Chains A and B, each alone.
Chain A
Amino acid sequence: MDFAYSRNAVTEKEKKLQRILEIFPGALSWGIITGMCCLSFARPFLAAVIIIAFLLYWLLRLIYMNIFLVLSYRRLAKEKDTQWIKRGDLYHLVIMPVLKEPAQVVEPGILSIKNSKYPSSRILVIVALEEPASNKVKQDMLELQKKYKGFFLDFIVTTHPSGLPGEAAVKGANTTYAARAAAEFFKAKNIAYEDVLVSCFDADTVAQPDYFSCLTYHFMATPDGTRASYQPVPVYHNNIWEVPGFARIIDIGTSFFQLVEATNPGKLVTFSSHSMSFKALVDIGYWPVDMISDDSAIFWKAFIHYDGNYRVVPMYTTVSMDIASGETLPKAFWNIYKQKRRWAWGVENFPFVIRAFLKAKRISMYKKAVHTFKFLDTFVSWATWSFMLSFIIWLPVLFAGREFATTTVYYIVPRIRAAIFGLASVGMIACMVISLLLLPEKESENRFKTVFRHALEWLLIPVVVLALSALPALDAQTRLMAGRYMEFQSMEKFRRKDG
């Protein structure tokens, strides 16, 4: 189906519907939060009963997710030793957009591609520079090009001019510009787009040595492989021991979420660094050039273009990135907050997806319903659960009048709450253990000290999730409600100078 997946392409007629759909997720989240607060005050009895139902639902979801976290981790550990395809039947294109990142941040990623088990002579690397990048960054990239050009099919540095018509200051515009240059390259070399897999990495992405072999295998093993994106598990190990504890915990949570999501390919949506067929990318008209959430938008664009016959295939291999941080604690906190808000800005896809669903006749109702529910469930629970668990569940007892205070519910809700939190803490221990297994060892510290310190960091989880996950998500949804559209901001990648 032809659908203009762009904010600039919304017609006058559709603008009203677009605005209503932009308001909907935020209104739902705010409705839940304020509705429960008001209900706790006006009808504490009813609020307490709803809270019991919510707490049980939360606990079961937690157990359910923990089961798949363990299973997914086991699969990841098992597939570490798999010997993937080593034959270079396909070509790979890797696009690395760069704005502020110096060579120190970009080079490990390029090295990881060079040292890949897949023949690097069949890999085209494009460093996609933005025009406003500093001369130092531009110089750094040219030096990297000089240093590594001989190892790859080619190493191209493109410079995306600012302010092209129809574009916003977003990463997707830059990667699209680079992908168009790659299309010219492949055309000139007579390489069919069907034989090329494109991986859009962040500037700091370090791929596992088996990444391209694993990707090639999955592409070849997937029926109609061009109609799929390939999602590795993102981990944030590049600078994990150089950032504050709260930063570590929140990004381990992100990896866990992706591990759990990997067990549900039917509803999986692309996130962060991932890969897809270059033919599909060209067919759907590249990444949206005016949206921040290009990583998820590209999936929705393809899903709509191919009338629902597009999916995400999980790959049990990892790509490692940097955790956003800063030189001081408040700066690190603020940078992480902004990064999570940008991730949560993925909610901007909702109005486009729903408008497309309303028009798409060939996408089954079942698929439309499943994806719409999953979309809302993900974003609304992201923005509301922490508020529910941290504040709202305490309100009915706090606001209790004399009448409610003499009911059995008033005394039993705290007991149920305590029992559920007790059971949930067992789940937290499981997360703690898996995070210890997943984390790279810290060379300068003994294992016991690392384990002890990391275990203590997990105690921060209620505060960290509220401040650096739920709050930015609610912030993003509120901005979308108000029509205050975000623009891309490159995150500060903090590395110790001796690192």
Chain B
Amino acid sequence: MQALRRVLFYIFVIIYAVICPLLIAYSLGYIVNPVKKAIERGGLVYLSSTPAGANVYLGRSRYVYKTPATISGLLPGKYKITVRLKKYRKWAHTARVEAGKAVAFGNILLIPERWQPAQLGRQRYTRLIPLAGSDTFIVEKGSDPAEYFVYNCKRSKLYRMPKFSPAIKDIGLAGAKSADVVQIKFCRGRDTRQCFWLSEGSHLIFLENDDLFLLEIEPDLTYHREKITSVLGGTRVFYSRDTGELYYLERRAGRLQKIRIMPK
């Protein structure tokens, strides 16, 4: 047994001496360039998406793993990367890979091919008052306190307000304040009443002139925006971070509706 132990010990020492430097070199990005038949230092691309499980394409070739995925062993250069998932629009980007460096596209928000609003009852409302810092908002049918309702997004339930609070209008204003900073940067003086950051800052939803927009912001601060829907004139919207859904009063009849922004 001792002789076997000694033999195996030396075998394991050799295995370690061979594999350890290879593993470290691999983690540093060193790869064999089959064309030049030389060892070169490459980089990698990291992708994660919401929802996860999307196919990843490098140029025209599909990568074996789905998001979240780390594509390592890439020689320095430019690569066209596409992320595709059924029922969602494709996401494409050109990544510049450098030696020993990683290009990360974290939390790519995949936009549905069609926004699908869901109606929450047949009642018509005149106003939506977001309650900042909560998962609840208020909708009102008229000026009478009995016509105020509270909607809880987590429970997906509408409650009659038990008691009218005069502070409600103040809360509504407090919600509007968060829009101010972004209004200056992206909307150049237009009537931007509200905005919400999504997906760790890669996307922004904002309400401008009764239209809801989704803004995708690139790392270099360029952006493109897309209209989601229109809301009842002068009303506000509510975005629940817990459910990833946006609540609003639809433009024509003021019925309460919701749209899923963040996929489940």
Contact = CB atoms under 8 A, between A and B. Distances in A.
Interface of A: 48-49, 52-53, 56-57, 60, 63-64, 67-68, 71-72, 75, 263-266, 405-413, 415-416
Contacts of A52: 20, 23-24, 27
Interface in B1-58: 1-2, 4-5, 8-9, 12, 15-16, 19-20, 23-24, 26-29, 42-44, 46
A450 B15 CA distance: 38
B81 interface: no
A48 B27 CA distance: 9
Contacts of A265: 2
Given A406-B104, A411-B102, A264 B5 contact: yes
Nearest to B15: A60
A244 B190 CA distance: 68
Nearest to A54: B20
Given A56-B20, A264-B5, 18 more contacts: A49-B28, A60-B15, A60-B16, A64-B12, A67-B8, A68-B5, A71-B4, A263-B5, A406-B104, A407-B101, A408-B29, A408-B101, A411-B44, A411-B70, A411-B72, A411-B104, A412-B27, A412-B44
A64 B8 CA distance: 8
A406 B28 CA distance: 12
Given A52-B27, A60-B15, A60-B16, A408 B100 contact: yes
A421 B189 CA distance: 55
Nearest to B103: A406
Contacts of B101: 406-408
A408 B24 contact: no
Contacts of B19: 56
Given A56-B20, A60-B15, A411 B2 contact: no
A148 B147 CA distance: 93
Contacts of A68: 1, 5
A442 B1 CA distance: 33
Main secondary structure of the interface of A (DSSP, over half): helix
B104 A49 contact: no
A263 B24 CA distance: 32
Contacts of A264: 2, 5
Interface string B172-209: 00000000000000000000000000000000000000
Shortest beta-carbon contacts, A-B, top 9? A408-B29, A412-B27, A409-B27, A263-B1, A411-B70, A411-B102, A408-B44, A60-B12, A411-B46
A448 B189 CA distance: 72
A408 B102 contact: yes
Centre residue among B1, B12, B42 by max chain A CB count within 10 A: B1
Interface residues of B, number: 27
A416 B23 contact: yes
Contacts of A71: 1, 4
A479 to B, nearest CB: 33
A408 B20 contact: no
12 contacts: A49-B24, A263-B5, A266-B2, A405-B102, A406-B102, A408-B100, A408-B102, A409-B27, A411-B46, A411-B104, A412-B27, A412-B72
Contacts of A67: 8
Contacts of A60: 12, 15-16
A407 B97 CA distance: 11
A53 B20 contact: yes
Nearest to B30: A408
A408 B40 CA distance: 14
Contacts of A408: 27-29, 42-44, 72, 100-102
A410 B2 CA distance: 41
A405 B72 CA distance: 15
B102 A407 contact: yes
A418 to B, nearest CB: 11
A237 B102 CA distance: 53
Nearest to B27: A412
Nearest to A57: B16
Interface string B81-105: 0000000000000000000111010
Contacts of B16: 56-57, 60
Nearest to B44: A408
Contacts of B8: 64, 67
A121 B110 CA distance: 84
A406 B26 CA distance: 16
Contacts of A411: 44, 46, 70, 72, 102, 104
B28 A409 contact: yes
A71 B100 CA distance: 44
B102 A410 contact: yes
B155 to A, nearest CB: 35
B121 to A, nearest CB: 46
A55 to B, nearest CB: 9
A56 B27 contact: no
A265 B3 CA distance: 11
A196 B248 CA distance: 93
B5 to A, nearest CB: 6
A71 B5 CA distance: 11
B1 A53 contact: no
Given A60-B12, A64-B9, A64-B12, A412 B26 contact: yes
A268 to B, nearest CB: 11
A498 to B, nearest CB: 43
A236 B198 CA distance: 57
A122 B37 CA distance: 76
A217 B24 CA distance: 51
A53 B24 CA distance: 8
A423 to B, nearest CB: 12
Contacts of A64: 8-9, 12
A266 B27 CA distance: 38
A67 B8 CA distance: 10
Contacts of B43: 408
Contacts of A410: 102
B7 to A, nearest CB: 11
A49 B23 CA distance: 9
A461 B24 CA distance: 29
Contacts of A407: 100-102
Contacts of A57: 16, 20
Contacts of B24: 49, 52-53
B30 to A, nearest CB: 9
A263 B8 CA distance: 12
